[in-house]
């Protein structure tokens, strides 16, 4: 018999192995939500009456047609598992939206829709000119037009008159790779989480200084809560899309005092971002200032589902970026093991130079704590993609357990066993004994089973 968890990779192989059970196997796969690399477990779950010792209910991997319990891999990245990424994106949307429109069923008050909220994009500063697509009033403009046609010190044209197509692979690539500061770029990616934490720390201070001007709002009477998602730009630098919401001072989500407006919040966010920076030492002993780029957009979020800056649109952006990683900037979605591997990866020249910079700087003892080699596939960034303040809204865990409860109920109904009063009696004790039996990499593609893509 083959190792548990290894499943046939085609329909014909599936029916050859399982015969008349093949349909039941497909049913089981479907319950992983068409996950492309489910986790296989063996074991059982017993519900025991702790007073009488009687086994009220048993569910075991031996009851499954494959002999294993299959769980979805839950990878958030679309490039790794389209199906699990889809579920993750849905959860990201739900929890982001709950922080904007409320979710009364999960204890998030709908009244928070009236709080001041802004959507800010915090970018990286420039580390050298890259090819870009400039669109103004629906017209694509030349990439970098200069009247004097300058030549850089490497003898390359520093301007570019091309009007780049949206899919042009040149976009985000350096105009002169020798001028581009690859080392500075990966150090910025590595230090960005620190810059973010300091910006958040500065928020209350800036808020207090703005409130100092308005006697109507006492100090400490507001809290700024946020949800943020990181996105890789084509030039290989990370930027942040952040929802900021102004709440009252309490631990519970309550309304901020009168006079705390959207304009004030936008002003506070822009002020905190502009005044926050840190200075680090480069490998050559020079200084590098880690700060946000000057191109900062802060806009008000409109309540409702309609329009570009609505609750729904903003939540949609966050969910979309939450399922991506460095691969959208020509990076990789998996770790790199050697410098030799970098030289042979099918990535853009720009991404390769960023990875080489990670490898080189990561090998220096004074930069060891940044773990740049471990994170070379992410171009130096080792932060989380989607994070939020504790009381922004619901959590991924709450959404997942609600889904599991719902599925468990459906399964009971399917077994003709909806009456679970036995299992719910106070003396019932649930014992789970499962062990990992491998990652079931080769599964029937959802396309072959006619499932959703
Ligand atoms: Zn999966
Ligand atoms: Zn160009
Ligand atoms: Zn140059």
Tens of pLDDT, residues 117-147? 999 999 999 999 999 998 999 999 999 888 8
Nearest ligand, measured from the Cα of 156: 3
Between these two residues, 424 and 287, which has the higher pLDDT value?
Answer: 287
Nearest ligand, measured from the Cα of 74: 1
pTM (2 decimals)? 0.83
How many A from CA of 90 to the centre of ligand 2?
A: 36
Instruction: Categorize the per-residue pLDDT at 442 as very low, low, confident or very high, splitting at 50, 70 and 90.
Output: very low
How many A from CA of 77 to the centre of ligand 1?
A: 9
Neighbours of ion ligand 1 (CB under 5 A): 35, 72-73, 81, 84
Lowest mean pLDDT among 235-244, 269-278, 433-442: 433-442
Over residues 195-222, the mean pLDDT reads 78
Distance CA 215, CA 288 (A): 40
- Same domain, yes or no, for 49 and 28? yes
Nearest ligand, measured from the Cα of 86: 1
- Same domain, yes or no, for 434 and 356? no
- Pairing assessment for the beta strands 277-281 and 287-291 based on DSSP bridges: antiparallel
Predicted confidence (pLDDT) at residue 214 exceeds the cutoff of 60: no
Over residues 370-386, the mean pLDDT reads 91
- Same domain, yes or no, for 344 and 416? no
- Pairing assessment for the beta strands 134-136 and 39-49 based on DSSP bridges: unpaired
- Residue at 53 is within a domain: yes
Over residues 366-393, the mean pLDDT reads 91
Give 115's DSSP letter.
Answer: S
Instruction: Categorize the per-residue pLDDT at 424 as very low, low, confident or very high, splitting at 50, 70 and 90.
Output: low
Neighbours of 236 (CB within 10 A): 32
Residue 227: what are its φ and ψ, rounded to 5°? -135, 135
- Same domain, yes or no, for 62 and 30? yes
Over residues 402-421, the mean pLDDT reads 70
Instruction: Categorize the per-residue pLDDT at 418 as very low, low, confident or very high, splitting at 50, 70 and 90.
Output: low
Over residues 222-246, the mean pLDDT reads 92
- Which residues form the domain of 165? 129-176
What per-residue confidence (pLDDT) applies to 443? 40
Nearest ligand, measured from the Cα of 152: 3
pLDDT above 70 coverage of the chain, percent:
89
Nearest ligand, measured from the Cα of 141: 2
Lowest mean pLDDT among 258-262, 328-332, 394-398: 328-332
Contact 430, 46 (CB under 8 A): yes
- Same domain, yes or no, for 168 and 201? no
Nearest ligand, measured from the Cα of 173: 2
Instruction: Categorize the per-residue pLDDT at 218 as very low, low, confident or very high, splitting at 50, 70 and 90.
Output: low
- Residue at 353 is within a domain: yes
How many A from CA of 179 to the centre of ligand 2?
A: 15
What per-residue confidence (pLDDT) applies to 446? 36
How many A from CA of 139 to the centre of ligand 2?
A: 16
Starting at the edge strand found earlier in the chain, the sheet holding 386-388 runs 297-300, 117-122, 238-247, 223-232, 386-388
Over residues 14-37, the mean pLDDT reads 83
How many A from CA of 69 to the centre of ligand 1?
A: 14
Mean pLDDT computed over every residue of the chain: 85
Instruction: Categorize the per-residue pLDDT at 175 as very low, low, confident or very high, splitting at 50, 70 and 90.
Output: very high
Nearest ligand, measured from the Cα of 181: 3
Between these two residues, 291 and 257, which has the higher pLDDT value?
Answer: 291
Nearest ligand, measured from the Cα of 133: 2
**Vertex 30 angle, CA 24 and 34, to 5°:** 140
Predicted confidence (pLDDT) at residue 450 exceeds the cutoff of 60: no
- Same domain, yes or no, for 347 and 358? yes
Distance CA 355, CA 359 (A): 6
Nearest ligand, measured from the Cα of 76: 1
Specify whether the backbone of 236 is left (phi greater than 0), alpha (psi in -120 to 50) or beta: left
What per-residue confidence (pLDDT) applies to 92? 92
Nearest ligand, measured from the Cα of 146: 2
How many A from CA of 326 to the centre of ligand 2?
A: 22
Nearest ligand, measured from the Cα of 73: 1
Among 339, 366, 388, give the residue marking a domain's end: 388
Predicted confidence (pLDDT) at residue 48 exceeds the cutoff of 90: no
Neighbours of ion ligand 2 (CB under 5 A): 131, 143, 160, 162
How many A from CA of 143 to the centre of ligand 2?
A: 5
What per-residue confidence (pLDDT) applies to 184? 97
Nearest ligand, measured from the Cα of 171: 2
- Same domain, yes or no, for 213 and 269? yes
- Same domain, yes or no, for 409 and 350? no
Among 388, 404, 424, give the residue marking a domain's end: 388
Among 370, 388, 406, give the residue marking a domain's end: 388
**CA nearest to 291, candidates 308, 306, 274:** 274
- Same domain, yes or no, for 150 and 285? no
Neighbours of ion ligand 3 (CB under 5 A): 152, 154, 176, 178-179
Contact 271, 173 (CB under 8 A): no
The structural domain count of the chain equals: 3
- Same domain, yes or no, for 203 and 311? yes
**CA nearest to 184, candidates 334, 291, 337:** 291
Q: Could you tell me how far CA 362 lies from the centroid of its own chain?
A: 24
How many A from CA of 345 to the centre of ligand 3?
A: 25
Instruction: Categorize the per-residue pLDDT at 271 as very low, low, confident or very high, splitting at 50, 70 and 90.
Output: very high
Which residues have CB under 8 Å from 291's CB, separation 6+?
A: 125, 195, 276, 277, 278
- Residue at 186 is within a domain: yes
How many A from CA of 403 to the centre of ligand 1?
A: 16
- Same domain, yes or no, for 311 and 412? no
Alpha helices in 19-107 (DSSP H): 22-30, 82-101
- Same domain, yes or no, for 193 and 158? no
Distance CA 449, CA 453 (A): 10
What per-residue confidence (pLDDT) applies to 448? 34
What is the helix (H) or strand (E) element at residue 311, kind and residue range? helix 311-322
Distance CA 318, CA 120 (A): 12
Contact 272, 262 (CB under 8 A): no
């Amino acid at each position: 018999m083959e190792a548990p968890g290894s499943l046939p990779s085609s329909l014909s192989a599936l029916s050859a192995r399982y015969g008349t059970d093949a349909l039941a196997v497909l049913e089981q796969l479907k319950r992983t939500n068409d996950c492309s690399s489910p986790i296989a477990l063996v074991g059982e779950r017993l519900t025991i009456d702790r007073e009488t010792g009687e086994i009220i209910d048993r569910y075991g991997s031996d009851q499954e047609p494959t002999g294993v319990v299959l769980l979805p891999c839950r990878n958030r990245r679309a490039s790794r598992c389209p199906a699990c990424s889809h579920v993750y994106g849905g959860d990201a949307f739900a929890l982001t939206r709950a922080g904007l429109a409320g979710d009364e069923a999960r204890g998030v008050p709908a009244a928070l829709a009236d709080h001041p909220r802004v959507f800010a994009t915090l970018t990286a500063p420039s580390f050298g000119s890259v090819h870009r697509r400039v669109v103004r009033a629906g017209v694509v403009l030349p990439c970098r037009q200069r009247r004097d046609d300058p030549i850089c010190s490497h003898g390359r044209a520093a301007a570019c008159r091309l009007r780049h197509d949206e899919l042009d692979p040149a976009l985000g690539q350096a105009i002169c790779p020798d001028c581009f500061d690859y080392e500075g770029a990966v150090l910025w990616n590595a230090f960005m989480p620190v810059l973010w934490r300091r910006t958040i720390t500065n928020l209350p201070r800036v808020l207090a200084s703005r409130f100092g001007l308005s006697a109507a709002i006492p100090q400490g009477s507001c809290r700024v809560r946020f949800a943020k998602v990181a996105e890789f730009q084509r030039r290989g630098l990370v930027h942040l899309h952040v929802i900021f919401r102004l709440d009252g001072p309490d631990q519970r989500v309550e309304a901020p005092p009168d006079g705390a407006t959207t304009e004030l919040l936008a002003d506070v966010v822009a002020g905190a971002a502009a005044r926050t920076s840190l200075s680090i030492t480069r490998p050559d002993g020079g200084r590098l200032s880690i700060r946000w780029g000057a191109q900062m957009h802060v806009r008000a979020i409109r309540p409702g589902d309609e329009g570009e800056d609505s609750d729904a649109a903003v939540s949609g952006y966050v969910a979309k970026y939450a399922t991506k990683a460095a691969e959208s900037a020509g990076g990789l979605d998996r770790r790199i093991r050697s410098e030799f591997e970098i030289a042979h990866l099918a990535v853009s020249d720009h991404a390769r130079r960023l990875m080489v910079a990670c490898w080189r700087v990561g090998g220096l003892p004074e930069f060891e704590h940044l773990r740049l080699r471990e994170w070379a596939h992410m171009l130096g960034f080792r932060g989380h993609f989607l994070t939020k303040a504790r009381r922004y809204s619901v959590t991924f865990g709450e959404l997942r357990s609600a889904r599991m409860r719902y599925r468990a109920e459906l399964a009971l109904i399917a077994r003709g066993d909806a009456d679970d009063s036995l299992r719910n009696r106070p003396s019932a004790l649930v014992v789970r004994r499962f062990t990992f039996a491998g990652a079931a990499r080769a599964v029937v593609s959802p396309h072959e089973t006619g499932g959703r893509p």
